[in-house]
Amino acid sequence: MTRVDYKSIYKVIGRIPRGRVATYGQIATLAGIDGHARQVGYALHSLPSGADVPWHRVINSRGEVSPRSASDSHELQRMLLESEGVEFDKRGRVALKRFQWAIIGARSEFVPRAPSRRTYRRRASSRSRPLGPKRRG
């Protein structure tokens, strides 16, 4: 992914409302790079200081602020989120069911997908472990 592609990531992050959070994976999906959550992290790491992107609203899939090795920006991130009304539990996690940015209806293309419902073939013997997806047609 080139630096030019980071603009789409920054654009999506810019849409996260105050008092809401989004996960790295959610941002990747919305930016059209589904399954590339790390690219969102790389884009945020490359964000120039003073940029008008609410980087602090992006957290990991466990609802945690991801710690950084080089600075105290994870503490700043938590303070910024708390100042917007986002609450953390005793383990330092955000309740995603309550604070995650939900994009529904005509306003967005993003709706979380349900888990895949693959049908598995069973072995003819008495063993009943899955062999893999059923082949169609």
Least Cα distance to 47 among 23, 69, 86, 14 occurs for 14
Q: What is the Cα–Cα distance from 47 to 3, expressed in whole angstroms? A: 10
pLDDT band, residue 135 (cuts 50/70/90): low
User: pLDDT per residue over 71-122, tens digit each?
Assistant: 778 889 999 999 999 999 999 999 999 999 987 653 444 444 444 444 444 4
Could you tell me the two tokens for 31? 């930016």
- Chain-centre distance of CA 79, in angstroms? 20
pTM beyond 0.75, yes or no: no
Q: Tell me, what's the pLDDT at 69?
A: 72
pLDDT of res. 124: 53
Domains within the chain, CATH numbers bracketed: 3-113 (1.10.10.10)
- Averaged over 10-25, what is the pLDDT? 96
